[in-house]
């Protein structure tokens, strides 16, 4: 991963990182509050050797070397019963020498003959008392141990150079240090968890994830818009928006997929439900019609049809009626306003959708429509739950797969494309939908000249009366399905 990848992870999962950081900070604060306060008292000893009056430089150097070697052993003696038992007796402590030794820390600075002794205790007064008693006992103990003969003094002398003093503030816990460490550790832990979740997250989020799954071309990218469910036909409602421009770009790219043999019949599908295939098919069809092409869009999802609802139509007859020979296709088509776009609804839900969609009648219907119209678009069900879309892909010129960012996983997309390859379907390309666009990205550059118009268009669309769609629905041949509808201009949601 590059630096920008880490920054992107932090931007996307900042809530997780913040939550982990705050949790660790809270734990550090609780630990600080519950930890008993500990105070420390420090004293210092200076170790020297006695020399004769005619001492010279050599003897002084020899004595210094002797002393430096000795002090290493003296630090061990400070924690021995020989020293601590008298201290316990003098202070009246109710502890053993082993327990008291855990409270004492002795160090020798490098290349010195100074011993620093620190006594820790829950009471600053008691710590000072223990350290002071060590200052009395330790020099006498060393003098006794180093004495060669009873009538001769010890050649080693231990002098207290710093009386025992306790710090006013406790040495533990230290709230500022603990909270700072808690914040740093929490931040690092949060970043680690965020990176782990990002690594384990298999959802497709960008073209890079798509490229890791397939070599198929991404022919379009549609930015995410939270307003899309309320206004699915963005090309009609807000034609100057960035998303509408993205659909027009998709239209252009689709027309150049195969210049030698451009596709005229296309099935639009996805891997799983909820990726936006129906709204994508509808907006693509409107974009093609706006460019002067005659288009027929077929509601090929015979299980959960949504297309006519999105486009403001109702119809009791449709594709299933045409396939069983009950109604002629010319009588089942409905015109979208005054445009060159015609709709063929799903009709009654059949018990055998896959068999109907894969029948010879379906192939003949598509061929018939291709002869009369420039484009035939089939809105098919998702590939993974059912085989309908894979079956239809064998009857058309190619398939366009909608990839819903943050919805479909890489494995799901891979299996969906494999199902098309298995039936030798022609994959024209992929449409990356619901992309979280950032300023300056390819999904937000279109429509930059129309920002003010876009806002006015959105405000106008929100103020439109709900009866527009109802008007389109009542004017559609829902009740009278024997002839083609002449839907008024209001049905176009324009």
pLDDT on residue 62: 63
Q: What are phi and psi of 171, to 5 degrees?
A: -80, -15
pLDDT less than 70: residues of the chain: 1, 50-64, 148-152, 437-494
In this predicted model, what pLDDT tens digit does every residue of 331-345 receive, in sequence order?
999 999 888 999 999
Rounded Cα distance, 441 and 228, in Å: 20
In this predicted model, what pLDDT tens digit does every residue of 25-71 receive, in sequence order?
999 999 999 999 999 999 999 988 765 555 555 555 666 677 777 88
pLDDT on residue 187: 95
Q: Would you tell me how many other CB atoms lie within 10 Å of the CB of residue 43?
A: 23
Report yes or no: 493 and 312 within 8 Å, Cβ to Cβ.
Answer: yes
Domains and CATH numbers, the chain: 3-35+174-200 (no CATH), 39-166 (3.30.70.1130), 207-492 (3.40.50.300)
Rounded Cα distance, 413 and 382, in Å: 11
pLDDT on residue 394: 94
Report yes or no: 380 and 275 within 8 Å, Cβ to Cβ.
Answer: no
Could you give the C-alpha distances from 251 to 109, 244, 288, in angstroms and in order? 79, 11, 6
Contacts 24+ apart (CB under 8 A), 251-254: 251/284, 251/287, 251/288, 251/291, 253/219, 253/220, 253/429, 254/219, 254/220, 254/284, 254/400, 254/428, 254/429
């Amino acid at each position: 991963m590059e630096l920008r990848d880490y920054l992107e992870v932090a931007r996307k999962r900042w809530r997780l990182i913040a939550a982990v950081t705050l949790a660790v900070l809270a734990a550090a604060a609780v630990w600080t509050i519950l930890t008993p306060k500990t105070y420390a008292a420090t004293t210092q000893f200076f170790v020297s050797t006695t020399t004769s009056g005619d001492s010279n430089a050599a003897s002084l150097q020899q004595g210094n070397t002797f002393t430096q070697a000795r002090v290493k052993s003296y630090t061990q003696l400070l924690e021995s019963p020989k020293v601590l038992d008298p201290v316990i007796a003098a202070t009246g402590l109710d502890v053993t020498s082993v327990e008291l030794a855990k409270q004492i820390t002795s160090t020798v600075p490098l290349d010195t003959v100074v011993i620093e002794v620190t006594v820790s205790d829950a009471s600053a007064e008691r710590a000072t008392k223990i350290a002071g008693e060590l200052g009395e006992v330790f020099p006498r103990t060393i003098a006794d141990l180093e004495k060669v003969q009873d009538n001769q003094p010890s050649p080693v002398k231990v002098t207290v150079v710093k009386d025992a003093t306790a710090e006013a503030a406790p040495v533990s816990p230290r709230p500022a240090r603990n909270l700072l460490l808690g914040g740093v550790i929490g931040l690092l832990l949060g970043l680690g968890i965020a990176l782990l979740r990002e690594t384990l997250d298999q959802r497709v989020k960008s073209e890079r994830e798509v490229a890791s799954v397939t070599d198929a071309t991404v022919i379009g990218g549609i930015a995410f818009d939270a307003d899309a469910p309320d206004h699915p036909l963005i090309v009609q409602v807000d034609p100057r928006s960035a998303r509408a421009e993205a659909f027009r770009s998709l239209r252009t790219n689709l027309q150049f997929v195969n210049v030698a043999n451009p596709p005229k019949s296309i099935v639009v599908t996805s891997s799983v439900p909820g990726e936006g295939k129906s709204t994508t098919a509808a907006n693509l069809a409107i974009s093609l019609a706006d460019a002067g092409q005659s288009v027929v869009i077929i509601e090929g999802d015979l299980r959960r049809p949504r297309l006519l609802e999105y486009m403001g139509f109702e119809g009791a007859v449709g594709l299933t009626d045409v396939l069983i020979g009950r109604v002629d296709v010319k009588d089942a088509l409905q015109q979208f306003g005054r445009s060159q776009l015609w709709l063929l609804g799903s009709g009654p839900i059949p018990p055998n959708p896959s068999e109907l969609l894969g029948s010879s009648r379906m192939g003949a219907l598509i061929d018939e429509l291709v002869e009369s119209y420039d484009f035939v678009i089939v809105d098919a069900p998702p590939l993974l739950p059912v085989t309908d879309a894979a079956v239809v892909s064998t009857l058309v010129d190619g398939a366009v797969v909608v990839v819903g960012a943050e919805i479909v996983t890489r494995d799901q997309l891979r299996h969906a494309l494999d199902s098309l390859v298995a039936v030798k379907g022609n994959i024209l390309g992929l449409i990356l939908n619901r992309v979280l666009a950032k300023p300056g990205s390819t999904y937000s550059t279109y429509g930059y000249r129309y920002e003010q118009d876009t806002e006015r268009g959105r405000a106008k669309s929100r103020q439109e009366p709900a009866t527009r769609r109802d008007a389109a629905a009542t004017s559609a041949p829902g009740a009278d399905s024997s002839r083609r509808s002449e839907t008024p201009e209001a049905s176009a949601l324009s």
